[in-house]
Amino acid sequence: MLDYESYKNQLRRLADVNFAAAVLSWDQETYMPAKGADHRASQLATLAGLAHAQATDKALGELLEKLQADASLDLVQQRNVQHSLRTFKKTQKYSAEFVEALSRAISEAFQAWQTAKKENSFAHFAPHLEKLVALRREECEFVGYEKHPYDALLDEYEPGLTTAEVEKLFDEVRTELVPFVKAIAACKPNSNAVLQKNYAKDKQWEFGLYLLRLMGYDFDAGRQDISMHPFTINFGSNDVRVTTRVDENDLADMVTGSIHEGGHALYEQGLPESEYGLPSGEAVSLGIHESQSRLWENNVGRSLEYWNTVLPELKKLFPEQTAGTTAHTFFEALNVVQPSFIRVNADELTYHFHIMIRFEVEKALIEGSLAVNDVPAFWNKRYKDYLGIDVSSDAEGCLQDVHWAHGSFGYFPTYSLGSFYAAQFYAAAEKAIPSLTQQISNGDLLPLREWLREHIHQYGKQYSARELCERISGEPLQFSYFMKYARKKYAHLYAI
């Protein structure tokens, strides 16, 4: 087993470098002073180059080939080696120059995006987006794909997922979800006025910490901070950090953001510490990762039972704003279905229309059928076509998300995938824990967290997303679970 120990040590040293870069990225998005941007771009590029050198070291490849033929390895070890060898062969296709150029372009683009969003100027960001699109197109060609270049980018986040499968998925959304949303639109609207009152920032922050603790988030292995765009980042399962943002006139922004990122963080904190740096210590895919945040945010956090639990604490912090309200008041308010401009604030049904638009933009950019300068017009037309609303600014339109500034093309479809996995997993949890609804109503969320750890978190990449889904529910991903969940919930809310 000396060879396997050597392999573990090499991957853990590689993880050390990558997590060191992640700490700098976290700092860049939270506390870094503006004048630090240039040097930070250089620092991240240097670390990216070092990581690439380690990941493509010839000796590592030879060791992986040797281990692949080692019959003494157990199943977890075999899967680790298989994943690492696949990654090694893929990484070999990247030159050090490309890796450093991409890292630098991303750092520069992030700073430009922040300014562009503040100044409501897509033109300020466009040259950086142009550079990133060109780099990602180049990547698709040297990585390779079977039918569409976008497949190569999807595979980075959801291994095995293809452009054709995403198109089929959104066909189901159009066929089933779009008519359902139209039926809701014809009903008497519910009100979210209770969320639009003035809620002081410091007390909102206190409530957010309470929500994270209630979920079982371990603050000895994490922390929460403020950022422009909420995110979760980890440096190992014992250091998993979340960020949120607070709008004093919209309580939902902080509430849903904290629960959502808390779901991501629970997954990272639930990965086996003993497998640090190895595939078995990493999340299986972005779709599965998103299933955890969506399950907590929507299936739990937007449920009536959940608000039976958390409303008393909110009333303590905001007695004036919540006077005369009930759990059902917040249940209705957090589940109002209506078209909106901002993806992260969208209701859980129209949310998928936002994802469809981003997928269409990315696919068109990568295949070359859409020029970067035409993105705002393309975006605005789709919002009018799908959501019936007129986008009035770049800031609330195509500049609202940080993903493209991070170079993350192929990421967005995993958000919809995650919601659909979440519905299927939650249905399985309800079968396994008959008293789950009552437990949530009583404020006991730990049995659900432990069920997720037992069935998902502990396995890392031991199973593929498809295998994991079949182990949990007995079948591959089915959109029908999401529609069944949506119909049951919203038929009650809107008396359909």
Residues with catalytic function: 261
Q: How far is CA 289 from the centre of its chain?
A: 7
Strand order in the sheet with 240-244: 224-226, 240-244, 232-234
Alpha-carbon gap, residue 112 to 90, rounded angstroms:
30
Phi, psi of 272 (to 5 degrees): -65, 120
Residue with tokens 């590689």: 14
Q: Which residues pair with 225 in a beta bridge?
A: 243
Instruction: Please report, in angstroms and rounded to a whole number, the separation of the first and last CA atoms in the chain.
Output: 62
**441, 384 contact by CB (below 8 A):** no
Joined together, the tokens standing for residue 444 give 């006991």
**267, 281 contact by CB (below 8 A):** no
**How would you classify the pairing of strands 240-244 and 232-234?**
antiparallel
Residue with tokens 């740096």: 277
Alpha helices in 158-303 (DSSP H): 163-172, 178-185, 201-215, 251-270, 286-294
**303, 36 contact by CB (below 8 A):** no
CB atoms within 10 A of CB 480: 13
CB atoms within 10 A of CB 274: 9
Kindly compute the dihedral angle of the four CA atoms of residues 335, 338, 343, 349, in this order, to the nearest 10 degrees: 60
Q: How far is CA 292 from the centre of its chain?
A: 9
Q: Which residues pair with 226 in a beta bridge?
A: 244
**224, 242 contact by CB (below 8 A):** yes
Residue with tokens 């493509």: 56
CA atoms within 13 A on the CB side of 105: 20
| Nearest alpha carbon to residue 32 among 111, 133, 105 | 111
| Nearest alpha carbon to residue 98 among 52, 164, 165 | 52
